[in-house]
Amino acid sequence: MDKHPLELTVNGSRFTVEVEHRKTLADTLREDCGLTGTHVGCEHGVCGACTVLVGGEPVRACLMFAHQAAGRPVRTVESLAAGERLHVLQQAFTDHHALQCGYCTPGFLMLIVGAFERDPDIADGELIEVLSSNLCRCTGYQNIIRAVRSVQDQLRGRA
């Protein structure tokens, strides 16, 4: 199959790549942009390990073709920390033991960051709904929920 040129903006940087039309955004980020923090767990939109933000919205990067992301800013887990300083959500994850193997973690981080950017006052029930769209096989979710709640408080200036 033929490769076609494509320009992607990922984490504020421009990537000029050549990929087949059928190549997913997840594979392109990983293989052509060298951003392997985005993981693939099912390739059919269920597990959420591949969640990234496209145009500010959480998206399953395994369900989107790279060419569909042309012209829309993409953000991946690699964008969160500022040098040595972790993003508050990353810090909350480590403080609350919200990760074990860490395979699902980038997907959860991007899912939650996206959800909070859309609605910082997201209701608790809704938050659980949002979290239930990604799978984790290690933690039993309890510590992920704790971590997110602690950040939620910070974001609302209560902590």
Partner 1 sequence: MQPLRPTRYIGKSVTRLEDRPLLTGAARFVADLDFPHQLHMRVVRSAHAHGRILGITTTEASALPGVVAVWTAADLGDLPPIPIRATAIQGLPPYRQPILARGRVRYVGEPVAVVFAESAYGAEDAADLVVADIEPLEPYLDVCRAPAEFAPGLTSEPTIIRKGYGDVDAAFQRAHAMVALDLSVGRHSAIPMETRGALARHDRARDVLELHGAAKRPHWNRDQLAEMLSMSPARIELYENHVGGGFGVRGEIYPEDVLVCVGARRLGRPVKWIEDRREHLLSANQSREQHHRIRAAVDAEGRFLAIDETLLHDQGAYVRTHGARVADMTIGLLLGPYRVPNYRAVAHYRLTNKTPAATYRAPGRFEGSFVRERLIDAIAQRLDLDPLEVRRRNLIGSAEMPYVRGLTALETEVILDSGDYAGLLEKALVWSGWQAMSRQAAARRAAGEAVGVGFGMFVEKSGLGPSEMVHLTVHADGTVEVVTGASSLGQGMETAIAQIAADTLGVDYRSIRVLHGNTNRIAFGFGAHASRVTVMTGEATRRAAEAVRAKALAFASELLQRDAAALDVVDGTVVAREGGGPSITLGQLAAQLAPASGSRGDREPGLAGTAWFHSKHMNYPYGVHMAQVAVDRETGGVKVERYCVAYDVGRAVNPAMIEGQIVGGLAQGLGGALLEEFLYSEDGQPLSVTFADYLTLTAREMPPVAVLITEDAPSPLNPLGLKGAGEGGVNAAGAAIASAIDDALQVAGLVARLPATPQYIRSRLRELEGGAA
From CA 41, how far away is CA 46, in angstroms rounded? 9
Task: Please report whether residue 99 would count as binding ligand FES according to CB under 6 A.
Answer: yes
Binding residues for partner 1, rule: CB under 8 A, are 1, 20, 22-23, 30, 35-44, 46-47, 49, 76-78, 80-81, 86, 90, 93-95, 97, 99-106, 109, 128-129, 131-145
Task: Report what 154 binds from ligand FES, partner 1, none; CB cut-off 5-8 Å by kind.
Answer: none
Binding mask 53-72 for ligand FES (x = CB under 6 A): -------x-x----------
Per-residue DSSP letters for 12-62? TEEEEEEEETT-BHHHIIIIIS--TTS--S-SSSSS-TTEEEETTEEEETT
Strand-pairing partners, residue 53, are 58, 75
How far apart are the C-alpha atoms of 57 and 94, rounded to whole Å?
24
Q: What token pair was written down for 69?
A: 């992301």
Partner from ligand FES, partner 1, none contacting 155, C-beta within 5 to 8 A by type: none
Among 17, 37, 73, 103, binds ligand FES (CB under 6 A): 103
